[in-house]
Structure 1
Amino acid sequence: MTRTLLHSFDPPAESPVAGPTVDLEVSSIEDAGIREVLQTPGTAYGAWSLLDTLLTPTGAGTPFIFKEPLGQAREVKVALSGLFGRFVARAYLERYFNLSIFAHLGSRVIDLDRRRKIKVKRLSRGDLPDWIACASDLSSLTVAEAKGCHDVGGPAKALDRAWAQAKRIDVTVKDRKVSVKRIAIATRWGMAAAGPSDAFLSARDPVDEGDPIEPKDQDSLFIGLLRLHIANLIKPLGHAELAGALQRLTHQPFPQRLQDDLGRARALLDAAPVREVEKATALGGLIGGVVTRAGPITEADVAPADQEALARLNLRPIFVGIDRDLIRAAIDAEPQAVRTRVVQAARPDEFARSDRAGGWIIPVGEERRIKGST
């Protein structure tokens, strides 16, 4: 179901939409929330699965308005506002900027390829932006920060805070800054009662020009992003060892040890259980796991009968997975194979929803079941 938010963009001439509003599918926001919660350290609770029930039941194409404020205590409002702000912003970036690969930033500087001296460099104190992201064809390097707020006057102050955060890092290759698009996004929530009545989404988006880099370094930068994106997604789904191996590939500086790490990552991928979707010829082998409203199920294989039981209990079981061949291309650092595999892996399916980067979200139960394969 589509919902709309009042939209402003700086600079206006670069706006990805025409007109005063932007529309987003609630299911796309929920899918973005699933990936965001899985990839971010912290709670695994399925907050994404509650979003639709929190909105006013006014139908498709109507404004994105919550029934009531997001909690009563200030701490609860701030926490939920920030969480939902990231969900909406990620769905906005995925749809209107074609971004699909997201590496998360914490409090420390991260390596994308330590051997080639490709890293994220902190420029000032304070919280780092939410994401470094790119498109599935390994282009459009982007630094993005999302904020949610309840400010009566609108999202301007939250957008300023987000913009300050988006400027706190550079991506560097051999200490030379590379070009990035910096995007700050602020969502001001609308409430049917006891709050502002209009929902706003505002964005600021200038390109920050840097130095040209060699093609091999550029490929390594994007492969590093993809490895972190995959690792962060599969780790809470029961694939911690494989995720750790992918992460080690980004910060191993020594050639011989890197070869050992590559061998280890390939062996772990070969040993990982591969899942397939019943009656879905368009989908190949996937690495992932089942997630419910209560979080990921990692302790045991979820048999088809269990998937049906979870669906009957309204726990909204879904399978979250990534194309196995894409993971192998990321391990082997083959950018052209990544681009080719992303195109092949994005074929549509009646039930499965693709993130255009080899990832799938598949509701399971009576109509669709995940099965193991050898």
Structure 2
Amino acid sequence: MTTRWTNHRLHDAAGTTTGGRIPINLWHVAQAAAEETLQGSLLAPAWLKLFQSHLSVRDPYFLRWREDFAESAEIRRAYSGLYGRFFARALLTQHLGFSRFISLARNGVKISGSVEVKRTKSGDIPDWLAWDSRNSNFVLCEAKGSLTANDFHNASGPSCVRSGKAQFGRVQTTSNGTTIYPAQWVAAVRWATDERGGTPTTVLWDPPSDGQPFTDGEAQVHFEAMTRAWLNSIASGFGYESADDILSAEREKNAVVVVAPNGPVPEERHWKDEDIHDDTLTDTIPDVGLAESPADEPDIPFSDSPVYEDRSDLLMPLPSEKKPHSAKYLLAVVNRFGIRPIRTSAELDSARRDQERAQALKEPAMLIGLPSKFSLEQRLGEKRWVDESGIAESGSLALFDLRTTEMKAPEGGLPS
């Protein structure tokens, strides 16, 4: 239920294009959506059901949306843009190892004690500043999604990628008054629907940059500054005011033990087949092109790409976990009405009532967790657990299906 496939292209800074078919585990996308939601994105309830409300039931293999995505053109464009952010962020995280995404908003962002990204020209600017731990450097990222583009296999890349590349030239990044040159990645998705047909395509495209890696000491300073900024951006969702509150020793008294079972979700707990739409979405993107065009040139297999070297987990669906997952988290419940932290015994009781409703299939709900032992130094993905009940990853947010997850108060209980 949680895996769909797309045709995928990766174009690196050296000009090499690799391609082939890849699976997308929808828990990675929901994890990205949960983080976006904590950081203030509009809550689209369908991600709470791993997009099952919108996915095609006629085609259970490809990443294809049922009917025509939504009834009106305005809502189609809104979902295309919003889901484009979710899927792009998942691709950038899962395939390239990026983390600590911070929105550039309208005019850029300043990371205390680290760097500043500032708008220098009119027009759209990239979506995020993030951290690339593999290369010890910053990275600017842009998300694109299209329902109608016909050029996703062009040698020069789709037009939405080219417009995304132009956005990198509208900002300047400085550190201690000196201009630096982060890496630049565009992640794009060409959607497919039951009505429009076509083959879904995902693209990761790296325009060349002149960036120089930091020393180990510099990289650690910047990574910790980005982590602190990221914690500040999600703190309110967990009931805290700032990163300092999350990192304090006091957080342990609010930590809840989570036990998520391995294996498939029981048949009786499959979500009802119903549409969930959020008519408050109003963002629009322009339509471009018509039908998908064939590839202009053959792609090099993923096995020949250094990005996917020793990354077989990206190229085949993951097997079921052999053991349940159990760990302590700072927790929040998220449902179609919003986000509520779980810090007290009363809030835990309320979350259990949410669980009872979710188990009765009356409303979808998830648990978002930040590991209670989280630290500024902890890197992304040192250990990962992914199954039908959720996803947990060291150095990052965890996400669990509330219906199948057990919540236990810590020894001594939670504050009243």
Structure 2 length normalisation: TM-score?
0.70
Q: Does the Cα contact within 8 Å between 2:64 and 2:191 map onto a contact in 1?
A: yes
Provide the secondary structure at the position in 2 that maps to 1:153. Answer: coil
Displacement of 1:321 in angstroms is 1.5
RMSD: 3.3
- Describe the shift of the 1:202–1:267 C-alpha distance in structure 2 as closer, same or farther (beyond 3 A): closer
Q: Which residue of 1 aligns with 2:396?
A: 358
Displacement of 1:48 in angstroms is 1.1
2:347 to 297, 301, 318: 301
- Describe the shift of the 1:210–1:362 C-alpha distance in structure 2 as closer, same or farther (beyond 3 A): same
Inter-partner Cα distance in structure 2 for 1:196 and 1:13: 33
Is 2:310 aligned against 1:310?
no
Q: Does the Cα contact within 8 Å between 1:45 and 1:295 map onto a contact in 2?
A: no
Q: Which residue of 2 aligns with 1:80?
A: 79
Q: Which residue of 2 aligns with 1:323?
A: 371
Matches within 5 A, 1:125-164: 125-135=122-132, 139-155=136-152, 156-164=158-166
Q: Does the Cα contact within 8 Å between 2:137 and 2:213 map onto a contact in 1?
A: no
Displacement of 1:85 in angstroms is 0.7
Inter-partner Cα distance in structure 1 for 2:189 and 2:108: 27
- Describe the shift of the 1:342–1:189 C-alpha distance in structure 2 as closer, same or farther (beyond 3 A): closer
Provide the secondary structure at the position in 2 that maps to 1:143. Answer: strand
Displacement of 1:14 in angstroms is 6.6
Q: Which residue of 2 aligns with 1:258?
A: none
Q: Does the Cα contact within 8 Å between 2:333 and 2:340 map onto a contact in 1?
A: yes
- Describe the shift of the 1:180–1:269 C-alpha distance in structure 2 as closer, same or farther (beyond 3 A): farther
Percent identity, please: 20
Matches within 5 A, 1:343-354: 343=382, 346=383, 348=385, 351-354=389-392
Displacement of 1:121 in angstroms is 2.8
Q: Which residue of 2 aligns with 1:276?
A: 257
Q: Which residue of 1 aligns with 2:229?
A: 228
Provide the secondary structure at the position in 1 that maps to 2:142. Answer: strand
Inter-partner Cα distance in structure 1 for 2:260 and 2:214: 45
Provide the secondary structure at the position in 1 that maps to 2:348. Answer: coil
Inter-partner Cα distance in structure 2 for 1:265 and 1:311: 28
Q: Does the Cα contact within 8 Å between 1:186 and 1:201 map onto a contact in 2?
A: yes
Inter-partner Cα distance in structure 2 for 1:214 and 1:157: 36
Q: Does the Cα contact within 8 Å between 1:321 and 1:359 map onto a contact in 2?
A: yes
Q: Deviations over 1:37-63 (max 9, x none)?
A: 222x24334331352232222565x22
Displacement of 1:269 in angstroms is 4.8
Q: Does the Cα contact within 8 Å between 2:97 and 2:134 map onto a contact in 1?
A: no
Inter-partner Cα distance in structure 1 for 2:87 and 2:66: 17
Q: Which runs of 5+ in 2 are unaligned?
A: 153-157, 262-323
Inter-partner Cα distance in structure 1 for 2:239 and 2:184: 33
Q: Does the Cα contact within 8 Å between 2:260 and 2:325 map onto a contact in 1?
A: no
Inter-partner Cα distance in structure 2 for 1:131 and 1:168: 13
Inter-partner Cα distance in structure 1 for 2:214 and 2:98: 21
Inter-partner Cα distance in structure 1 for 2:339 and 2:370: 15
Q: Does the Cα contact within 8 Å between 1:9 and 1:203 map onto a contact in 2?
A: yes
Q: Deviations over 1:331-363 (max 9, x none)?
A: xxxx3xx24x974xx364864512442321122
Inter-partner Cα distance in structure 1 for 2:212 and 2:335: 45
Deviates more, 1:76-85 or 1:166-175: 166-175
Displacement of 1:176 in angstroms is 2.1
Q: Does the Cα contact within 8 Å between 1:105 and 1:130 map onto a contact in 2?
A: yes
Query: Quick one: which amino acid aligns to residue 161 of structure 2?
Result: L
- Describe the shift of the 1:212–1:318 C-alpha distance in structure 2 as closer, same or farther (beyond 3 A): closer
Structure 1 length normalisation: TM-score?
0.77
Q: Which residue of 2 aligns with 1:250?
A: none
Provide the secondary structure at the position in 2 that maps to 1:201. Answer: strand
Provide the secondary structure at the position in 1 that maps to 2:108. Answer: coil
Deviates more, 1:69-78 or 1:89-98: 69-78
Displacement of 1:83 in angstroms is 0.6
Query: Quick one: which amino acid aligns to residue 235 of structure 2?
Result: I
Paired residue total: 337
Displacement of 1:144 in angstroms is 0.8
Determine which structure has the larger helix proportion and give its number: 1
Provide the secondary structure at the position in 1 that maps to 2:222. Answer: helix
Query: Quick one: which amino acid aligns to residue 55 of structure 1?
Result: L
Inter-partner Cα distance in structure 1 for 2:183 and 2:120: 16
Inter-partner Cα distance in structure 1 for 2:163 and 2:178: 26
Displacement of 1:301 in angstroms is 0.6
Displacement of 1:370 in angstroms is 4.7
Displacement of 1:212 in angstroms is 5.6
